[in-house]
Amino acid sequence: MRSGSATHSDRPNFLTIIRVALDTPLDFCFDYRWHPEDQAAAAPLVGQLALVPFGSREVVGLIVAVNVETTVPPDKLKDVLAIRSQLSALSDQWRALCVFAADYYQRPLGEVAIPGLPRNLRAIKTTALDRALKKLAKIEALHDATPAQMPVLNPEQQQAVDAIAGAQGFTPHLLYGVTGSGKTEVYLQAAAHVLAHFDDAQILILVPEINLTPQLEGSIRARFPGVAVATLHSSLAEGERMTHWLAAHLGQARIVLGTRLAILASLPKLQLIVIDEEHDPSYKQQEGLRYSARDLAVWRARQLEIPIVLGSATPSLESWQHAQTGRYRMLELRQRAVKAAVLPVVRLIDMEHNKPVDGLTPVLIAALKLRLERGEQSLLFLNRRGYAPVLACDACGWISNCSRCTAFMVLHKPEHRLRCHHCSLELRIPRSCPTCGNVDLQPLGRGTQRVEEGLQAIFPEARISRIDADSTRRKGSAQAAFDSVHRGEVDILIGTQMVAKGHDFKNLTLVGILNPDTALFSQDYRASERLFAQLMQVAGRAGRAAQKEGGSVSQVLIQTRYPQHPLYAAVVNHDYDHFANALLAERQQAHLPPYLYQALLRAEARELEIAIDFLKQAASAVEHAGIIINDPIPMTMTRVANVDRAQLLIECLSRPGLQSFLKIWLAMLRKIKTRAKWSLEVDPVDI
Ligand code: ADP
Ligand code: ZN
Ligand code: ZN
């Protein structure tokens, strides 16, 4: 018999059972039978992707074991449909990262490993994969333009670069640098060092939102023209996502710049990780696998024994604590990098004595006027989009509640709509009160649209631009809006937190902050940490270049009703150190993170009772030493889109203690019969 014609039955050693992780809510992997089409076909490898039947579908999964002993009876065992052999196997290290994340966040492995892959890689047909591989193979040498000049580092920057470049093995650094201190330059020169010292090194740079930081991508490309740079973020087209992911996986891309999802990229030659604005809440995924990209990055650096740099002007308290206790190496940049650029003067405007007109106090209006006369730019920050947060009837007390959520419908005047920001319900603005017929409905409060309207009335000649989620719905429109600010076509920019991050506006000398007070009294214990970071960020947009002759001293004006509040005092003094230390002391006393570890069980149902009832059963399912099980409570915003939501907080003084409890607990939760939909979050940030 010719060897090629061997059948499976008479050559049983050709039969291989492989175990595959699939993106399913079930917490185990599935076994399949593989037999080669011909004898020459290479046996499947752990880390390869395989197309397999699952129920009535065909899906792509990750091979986690080969030659396993299966408990599935032979007649139930299904065949692998295809091995994606054109793609090299995902590395052991990458799989270890997924295994860790799955274990830590208590999710199935497949749910961690598979969704992070480009969609085209998970497709049944391989046309897109084959095309992308061909395209990549053609990319040879890149353009050989002259690299942009490196500025001479100041001594603090140099020290930081030297520390990172000289680091051996796993070395976490906290690059604590005031806004405009040139953290980016430190990243770039540390990257240059790594690229020069390892032939094939890869560097991963994470940023909170890539669309808001195109300057960084520009700087990287200009600085390293001979180096392949790949970006990974959610707004890439599928085709692009695929080639960029492949470039990273194949080691062609030497620098990968991405948002949180890039932390799960395959980077076989990773030598340095940079997390810019490490405190930013967007590093936390808020649905599905609720991971912290920053925490996973630190884990990945430890696993690979490489340095990692966490940069921020206002580090998270977690990282700050690590730096204080010496677990992270602290690198400080205390000065602005541009010579003669100084931190702006921050002033509080007491709204009791300075009554606002159209939301703007006379002091702020005068400051805006001065900037207009001098041809300088101003930024007004208000973290509330729309025209007014509520529409109300004075006559009968009707207010624009959302019929589906515990929330108000927000008035959007230019769009002639009432919009719920939580369930996206939209209504035309009623002409008269739905309850009593009064035609004189009043907007209450103020959003960016209303401030814009007020500004136009006060400064009819000024070029005013509003940047928020509403004004930038079209793809590319945010970029275009920011470009026009950089080109000097805008006198006054008004925006939400979209304008606060990262931008290096050269001609901006005034920042006005409207209405930050609400966060002072939030019941979320993290609110003040976040508010402080946000205020420092937005304040940091002012005075980034040297003061011009006859130009203004750069200034930040905060309109508040609580000018005595210690948080504002810290902002005025640019004093993150004291503020952070005080907050940490408070947290330690009150037994809050980072001195305590938490998990949150969420449940939702059509009726609140169902959700609460499930949580009560969950709370009494198991007792465990050292675990604090709090009472189930409705969430602050209980109803969203006609679904009621409740939560149960679990706390423990030790991370391993919490982890081992969660494993036992989860197994019991799965046995509870309920109509509630539930999910568990480890290290929750929004409680
Ligand atoms: P950060 O990220 O710390 O807020 P950036 O990296 O945006 O600050 O730097 C602020 C400005 O300082 C940028 O315009 C940058 O080009 C400039 N800069 C950085 N380092 C130097 C340096 N060593 N000499 C001169 N200018 C510098
Ligand atoms: Zn009414
Ligand atoms: Zn709603």
- Confidence at 142, pLDDT banded by 50, 70, 90: low
Over residues 607-648, the pLDDT tens digits come to 999 999 999 999 999 888 899 999 999 999 999 999 999 999
Q: Is residue 437 part of a domain?
A: no
Tell me: do 499 and 557 sit in the same domain: yes
Domain boundary among 333, 363, 398: 333
* 507 plus 381 within the same structural domain: yes
Looking at the structure of the chain, the number of domains it has is 4
> Is residue 670 assigned to a domain?
yes
Q: What is the pLDDT of residues 294-306, one digit of tens each?
A: 999 999 999 999 9
* CATH number reported for the structural domain that contains residue 650 in this entry: 3.30.70.260
Asked if residue 408 has pLDDT above 50, the reply is yes
pLDDT at position 144? 65
505-515 as b/e: b if 16+ CB within 10 A: bebbbbbbbbb
C-alpha 221 – ligand 3 centre gap (Å): 43
Are 60 and 159 contained in the same domain?
A: no
Q: Quickly tell me which residue has 């509003």 as its tokens.
A: 466
Low-confidence winner among 14-18, 37-41, 269-273, 677-681 (lowest mean pLDDT): 37-41
Question: Does the pLDDT value for residue 342 go beyond 90?
Answer: no
How many helices and strands in the chain, by DSSP H and E? Answer: 17, 28
- The Cα diameter of the chain in Å comes to 100
The CATH number of the domain holding residue 74 is 3.40.1440.60
**Which ligand is nearest the CA of 399, by number?**
2
Do 58 and 51 form a contact (C-beta atoms < 8 A)?
yes
Residue indicated by tokens 């050693």 = 13
- What residue type is 236 in one-letter code? L
Name the region of 624 (left: φ>0; alpha: ψ -120 to 50; beta: rest): beta
Domain contains 340: no
The continuous run of DSSP H or E covering 556 comes out as: strand 555-560
Residues 376 and 479 in one domain: yes
Q: Which residue, by CA, sits nearest to atom 20 of ligand 1?
A: 182
Q: What does DSSP say about strands 492-495 and 377-381: parallel, antiparallel, or unpaired?
A: parallel
Distance 252 CA to ligand 2 centre (A): 65
604 to each of 500, 611, 613, 643, 678, how far by Cα in Å?
Answer: 34, 5, 11, 6, 6
Which tens digits make up the pLDDT trace of 511-540?
A: 999 989 988 988 888 999 999 999 999 998
Residue 329 confidence (pLDDT): 98
**Do 291 and 173 reside in the same domain of the chain?**
yes
Q: Which two tokens stand for residue 347?
A: 């002033």
Do 540 and 464 fall into the same domain? yes
Distance CA 14, CA 573 (A): 73
Across residues 111-116, what is the average pLDDT? 92
Same domain, 561 and 676: no
Do 237 and 329 lie in one domain? The reply is yes
pLDDT at 10: 41
Instruction: State yes or no: pLDDT of 594 exceeds 70.
Output: yes
185 close to ligand 1 (CB < 6 Angstrom): yes
Residue 210 pLDDT? 74
Write the burial class of residue 125 (CB in 10 Å: 0-12 exposed, 13-18 middle, 19+ buried). Answer: exposed
Predicted pLDDT of residue 241? 93
Nearest CA to ligand 1 atom 25: 338
Domain boundary among 585, 607, 635: 585
The b/e string for 41-69 (b: 16+ C-beta within 10 A; e otherwise) is eeebebbbbbbbebeeeebbbbbbebeee
Q: Return the structure tokens found at 144.
A: 């050989």
507 shares a domain with 550: yes
CA 215/CA 478 separation, integer angstroms: 13
Answer yes or no: is the C-beta of 277 below 6 A from any ligand 1 atom. no
Q: How far is it, in rounded angstroms, from Cα 686 to Cα 524?
A: 7
Which residues keep their CB under 5 angstroms from ion ligand 3? Answer: 402, 404-405, 420, 422-423, 425
CA 308-313-317 angle, to 5 degrees, is 75
Q: Is 362 in the pocket of ligand 1 (CB under 6 A)?
A: no
In a domain, 147, yes or no: no
Token pair recorded at residue 447? 């959003």
Question: Residue 184: inside a domain, yes or no?
Answer: yes
Q: What is the CATH number of the domain that holds 258?
A: 3.40.50.300
User: In this structure, are 234 and 321 located in the same domain?
Assistant: yes
Domain enclosing residue 676, as ranges: 597-682
Q: Identify the weakest region by mean pLDDT among 12-26, 100-114, 155-169, 312-326.
A: 12-26
Residue 428 domain-assigned (yes or no):
no
**In a domain? residue 232:** yes
Average pLDDT over residues 137-163: 83
User: Does one domain contain both 516 and 565?
Assistant: yes
Q: Are residues 532 and 645 in the same domain?
A: no
Which of 532, 565, 585 is at the close of a domain?
Answer: 585
pLDDT tens track for 78-107? 999 999 999 999 999 999 999 999 999 999
Q: Please give the model's pTM, rounded to 2 decimal places.
A: 0.93
Q: Is 590 part of a structural domain of the chain? A: no
pLDDT-based confidence at 267, cuts 50/70/90?
very high
Q: What is the pLDDT of residue 146?
A: 82
| % of the chain residues with pLDDT over 70 | 96
Average pLDDT (114-129) is 91
